A and B are shown apart, each in its own frame.
Chain A
């Protein structure tokens, strides 16, 4: 049909125009997506303290525009869709669409239809059928551009990023003395424990911690250097604690072996005492046992040597595994690690245990062979075991020191010590004292520390400590420590590590002297909080709770009618009345008074209101 030609030409023109517009829409949508992605990337980069260049975003934008245009532009556009546009531009009576689908029919009306549509289509241009329109993705693109502009103008930096890049502070900036009080107390406590137990390792660590704290407070080292030193200290404390645990294991095995023989049972009991005199008692007990019953003593010492040997084997295996895992989990501390120090320490510990095992074996052999040196060797073994018994008590102090050093590293790393979050510091103080949230437990601490006074009590939960008592304790401490402070470091050492122990004693005395100077000047004068158990005067306010509701029009009529028969709603009386009426209903339905067309509705109604069985399936009667 010749009239079809112009009609199809019009539709193809419309299709080209449509393709152009949908490609434009695709480009806009792609640009919107790209802009939003770029904005998100920019925000993320700013949060990480970085910047993104121009080339990447431009490439992304170009690619997204091209891809969007391509995806939308190559989609199939049917001539029927184009005909709909043409009809909409004409009179909306689908003449062009009908002509398109009926153009092959040879009926008179179909031909007339095509002629009519072609005649009308001649008055229409493709541009008139597809008017310019605003791309659908334009609002999204606008929003994306605004977000991008905001992201470019306002750099956002996350807290983590600030923590990472903020610390480079100039070395030599002193810290307020009080900010390190908690750590210095820990150092002093460790020093006191070291002196009491005679543990030179603990003393060494305590003195080094105190030295680091002093240098940090005086601004002699930077935060970074302090962090490195603290890391090394922490690692050494952890290793020392581990070594102490290993020794404790070996000692327990030896004790068990000695307790198995009647002659050496006294030595085993002597090793159980934690009064610091275990060494001399064990020495005496073993010497006596060797003199009186060398055979039994030989067996006991041999068994003890075997116990130490087995403990040594287990701990060596455990150390190897633990060291491997520790190195894997702390790659960042590689620089702070002093390399061979770790294995060397472990080897020292192992050598000590090996030496002990060897000495026990020698003593056992000597006693078994009736050698005259049996007694002296047994006494030496008792000495060694006694020293080990004294050191095992230092394990807890070492762990405590390691924990304190770790927490200080964390505080320093977060910048809390240099004007950081004070509440976080107070929280740390509480956790360091072990009185987090438990009123009354920190009372002794208050008294000893004095200068923390009211503020510390204010942080407690309904703390009821009396400040007067705290002052009295502090003052009495003042008198003693002032007197003893001058004698620090002059006590004679004994054996290896005596110098460290002497420094530890000096540290204790110096710290006590500081406390005595800082207390007594009005600290702790404030009134204490309400006693534990009394009601405080804190104003309480109720809080609003948002109740979730489901919006809707409520039950419809059918549901109301149906719900009337539900179990729980329908009572026994209802069921009885219904059964009375049921027969009448059936009679009425059977009668011709109810229209046929309405019987279904009436029957359905009575079906719905029939009392239904509950969830248990038991009918309600």
Chain B
């Protein structure tokens, strides 16, 4: 039994932790905003996915600052950063690393042994640029790393240093010579974000900052340890059963066999997996903490539903032929689903 005084102190600590979380996220986004003009929603969502321990798939045409955003985020968090440009001839070993024969010992007594040379995946923040240009074999090399936070080469498994965060990009226009991501890999991304072209004022800001003589330098505002603390705090946020039930019903409503939404029945081939529900709840918790609250609300669930579910809803032929998008379907689900059952 905890004494009232201790309990009050604990309560104060909890409140302070939530306030600190909010302040740190604000500082991080402010630092990112020093270099990235606009894209506040994208930066916020990427930060949320990072705090949730997930990964992000960014979709947008070239030149919108996707790579810069990830690099800036890594700098602001003082994390190691790697970039892999995916091409059709990229091999899994190019991503994961490989065993090389290494000679060691005195001359005349040289011995040879295999030594694992780590690939670029061994970083805290990995930018998989144009991931859909690599073959499915190479793409699947990321699967274990994204889910298990480890890499297996031969019979040896190498853990990746936490936090491990993959941010993949893909170009929605050029389909020639691309390999769309398998559903299994898509499901491992917490969010799929669409990067929209900047507005006119934002474009002015981009030009002002990038065509001048000085480029703003990014200072590290959060360290790796603090980031892990924040991740742990996210996991402690409680969720009221009605809110969680809303998320569960939301996932069910995307599945054509269980949904009552007409758009889902007509256009959807497969709905979201349970990973979608995990992504929604975690992201909703982060939304609550970023707002200084102790528990997520229905509005938080609604806010994160679209980026968390749009890549998990697969359209059928009718949907493709009608030009329907997953965004439309998820929007219809959100519009038709009551918050309380």
Interface of A toward B, CB cutoff 8 Å: 80-81, 84, 87, 92-95, 97-102, 105, 107-113, 115-116, 556-558, 561, 595-598, 600-601, 604-605, 608
Contact of A101 among B241, B288, B321, B322 (CB under 8 A): B241
A390–B119 CA distance with the chains assembled, in angstroms: 130
What residues of A have a CB within 8 angstroms of the CB of B15 in the complex?
112, 116
Contact of B243 among A98, A99, A111, A112 (CB under 8 A): A98
For the complex with contacts A94-B240, A116-B294, A596-B136, 10 further pairs of A-B residues with Cβ separation under 8 Å are A93-B288, A97-B242, A102-B240, A108-B236, A110-B294, A112-B294, A113-B238, A115-B11, A596-B182, A597-B179
Shortest Cβ gap from A252 to chain B (Å): 78
Q: Is the CB of A112 within 8 A of B298?
A: no
Confirm or deny: B178 has a beta carbon within 8 angstroms of a beta carbon on chain A: yes
Q: Is the CB of A94 within 8 A of B243?
A: yes
A324–B288 CA distance with the chains assembled, in angstroms: 90
Asked, given contacts A95-B295, A105-B238, A556-B322, whether A112 binds B175 with beta carbons under 8 Å apart, the answer is no
A117–B181 CA distance with the chains assembled, in angstroms: 44
What residues of B have a CB within 8 angstroms of the CB of A596 in the complex?
136, 179-180, 182
Q: Restricting to B311-333, which residues have a CB under 8 Å from any CB of A?
A: 317-318, 320-323
Confirm or deny: B78 has a beta carbon within 8 angstroms of a beta carbon on chain A: no
Confirm or deny: B297 has a beta carbon within 8 angstroms of a beta carbon on chain A: yes
What residues of B have a CB within 8 angstroms of the CB of A98 in the complex?
238-240, 243, 294-297
Q: Is the CB of A101 within 8 A of B242?
A: yes
A102–B242 CA distance with the chains assembled, in angstroms: 11
A99–B296 CA distance with the chains assembled, in angstroms: 11
Q: Is the CB of A109 within 8 A of B237?
A: yes
A557–B175 CA distance with the chains assembled, in angstroms: 22
Q: Is the CB of A94 within 8 A of B295?
A: yes
Q: Which residue of B lies closest to A111 (CB)?
A: B11
Q: Is the CB of A93 within 8 A of B293?
A: yes
What residues of A have a CB within 8 angstroms of the CB of B340 in the complex?
80-81, 84
Confirm or deny: B219 has a beta carbon within 8 angstroms of a beta carbon on chain A: no
A187–B320 CA distance with the chains assembled, in angstroms: 87
Contact of B299 among A80, A93, A105, A115 (CB under 8 A): A93
What residues of B have a CB within 8 angstroms of the CB of A605 in the complex?
317
Q: Is the CB of B237 within 8 A of A595?
A: no
What residues of B have a CB within 8 angstroms of the CB of A99 in the complex?
295
Q: Which residue of B lies closest to A604 (CB)?
A: B317
Q: Which residue of A lies closest to B300 (CB)?
A: A93
Asked, given contacts A92-B299, A94-B298, A601-B320, whether A109 binds B236 with beta carbons under 8 Å apart, the answer is yes
The 4 closest A-B pairs by CB, nearest first: A597-B180, A108-B14, A113-B294, A94-B297
Shortest Cβ gap from B198 to chain A (Å): 29
Instruction: Tell me what chain A mostly uses at the interface: helix, strand, loop, or mixed.
Output: helix
Between-chain CB contacts (< 8 Å), 30 pairs: A81-B340, A84-B340, A93-B288, A94-B243, A95-B295, A97-B240, A97-B243, A98-B238, A98-B294, A98-B296, A100-B240, A101-B241, A102-B240, A105-B238, A108-B13, A108-B236, A109-B238, A109-B295, A110-B295, A111-B10, A112-B14, A113-B293, A113-B294, A115-B11, A116-B293, A556-B322, A598-B175, A601-B317, A601-B320, A608-B317
Q: Is the CB of A556 within 8 A of B291?
A: no
A596–B185 CA distance with the chains assembled, in angstroms: 14
What residues of A have a CB within 8 angstroms of the CB of B204 in the complex?
none
A95–B236 CA distance with the chains assembled, in angstroms: 17
Contact of B11 among A80, A95, A112, A608 (CB under 8 A): A112
Q: Is the CB of B238 within 8 A of A107?
A: yes
Interface range, B side: 35 or more
A112–B292 CA distance with the chains assembled, in angstroms: 11
Q: Is the CB of A112 within 8 A of B297?
A: no
Confirm or deny: B151 has a beta carbon within 8 angstroms of a beta carbon on chain A: no
Q: Which residue of B lies closest to A96 (CB)?
A: B240
Confirm or deny: B18 has a beta carbon within 8 angstroms of a beta carbon on chain A: yes
Q: Which residue of A lies closest to B2 (CB)?
A: A106
A115–B10 CA distance with the chains assembled, in angstroms: 12
What residues of A have a CB within 8 angstroms of the CB of B181 in the complex?
597
Q: Is the CB of B240 within 8 A of A561?
A: no
Q: Is the CB of A561 within 8 A of B11?
A: no
Confirm or deny: B34 has a beta carbon within 8 angstroms of a beta carbon on chain A: no
Confirm or deny: B7 has a beta carbon within 8 angstroms of a beta carbon on chain A: yes
Shortest Cβ gap from B253 to chain A (Å): 20
What residues of A have a CB within 8 angstroms of the CB of B242 in the complex?
80, 97, 101
What residues of B have a CB within 8 angstroms of the CB of A111 in the complex?
7, 10-11, 14
Shortest Cβ gap from A77 to chain B (Å): 13
What residues of A have a CB within 8 angstroms of the CB of B317 in the complex?
558, 600-601, 604-605, 608
Asked, given contacts A94-B240, A595-B175, whether A109 binds B298 with beta carbons under 8 Å apart, the answer is no
Q: Which residue of B lies closest to A600 (CB)?
A: B317
Asked, given contacts A80-B340, A102-B238, whether A113 binds B180 with beta carbons under 8 Å apart, the answer is no
What residues of B have a CB within 8 angstroms of the CB of A561 in the complex?
321
A93–B186 CA distance with the chains assembled, in angstroms: 31
What residues of A have a CB within 8 angstroms of the CB of B17 in the complex?
108
A512–B294 CA distance with the chains assembled, in angstroms: 112
Asked, given contacts A101-B240, A109-B237, A112-B294, whether A558 binds B14 with beta carbons under 8 Å apart, the answer is no
A422–B323 CA distance with the chains assembled, in angstroms: 69
Interface string of B1-20 (1 = CB under 8 A from A): 00000010011011101100
What residues of A have a CB within 8 angstroms of the CB of B175 in the complex?
595, 598
What residues of B have a CB within 8 angstroms of the CB of A107 in the complex?
236, 238
Q: Is the CB of B294 within 8 A of A109?
A: yes
Shortest Cβ gap from A210 to chain B (Å): 78
Q: Is the CB of A102 within 8 A of B321?
A: no
Contact of A92 among B14, B237, B297 (CB under 8 A): B297
What residues of B have a CB within 8 angstroms of the CB of A116 in the complex?
15, 293-294
Shortest Cβ gap from B300 to chain A (Å): 8
Shortest Cβ gap from B248 to chain A (Å): 15
Q: Restricting to B142-188, which residues have a CB under 8 Å from any CB of A?
A: 175, 178-182
A602–B122 CA distance with the chains assembled, in angstroms: 38
A112–B178 CA distance with the chains assembled, in angstroms: 50
A561–B243 CA distance with the chains assembled, in angstroms: 43
Q: Which residue of A lies closest to B183 (CB)?
A: A597
A598–B315 CA distance with the chains assembled, in angstroms: 12
Q: Is the CB of B179 within 8 A of A558?
A: no
A582–B340 CA distance with the chains assembled, in angstroms: 52
A601–B236 CA distance with the chains assembled, in angstroms: 43
Shortest Cβ gap from B108 to chain A (Å): 51
Q: Which residue of B lies closest to A607 (CB)?
A: B317
Q: Is the CB of B240 within 8 A of A558?
A: no
What residues of B have a CB within 8 angstroms of the CB of A558 in the complex?
317-318, 321-322
Interface string of B280-293 (1 = CB under 8 A from A): 00000000100101
Shortest Cβ gap from A535 to chain B (Å): 59
Shortest Cβ gap from A373 to chain B (Å): 104
Q: Is the CB of A595 within 8 A of B179?
A: yes
Shortest Cβ gap from A85 to chain B (Å): 12
What residues of A have a CB within 8 angstroms of the CB of B10 in the complex?
108, 111
Shortest Cβ gap from A183 to chain B (Å): 70
Shortest Cβ gap from B131 to chain A (Å): 13
A561–B296 CA distance with the chains assembled, in angstroms: 46
A112–B32 CA distance with the chains assembled, in angstroms: 31
What residues of A have a CB within 8 angstroms of the CB of B236 in the complex?
107-109
What residues of A have a CB within 8 angstroms of the CB of B7 in the complex?
111
Q: Is the CB of B294 within 8 A of A93?
A: no
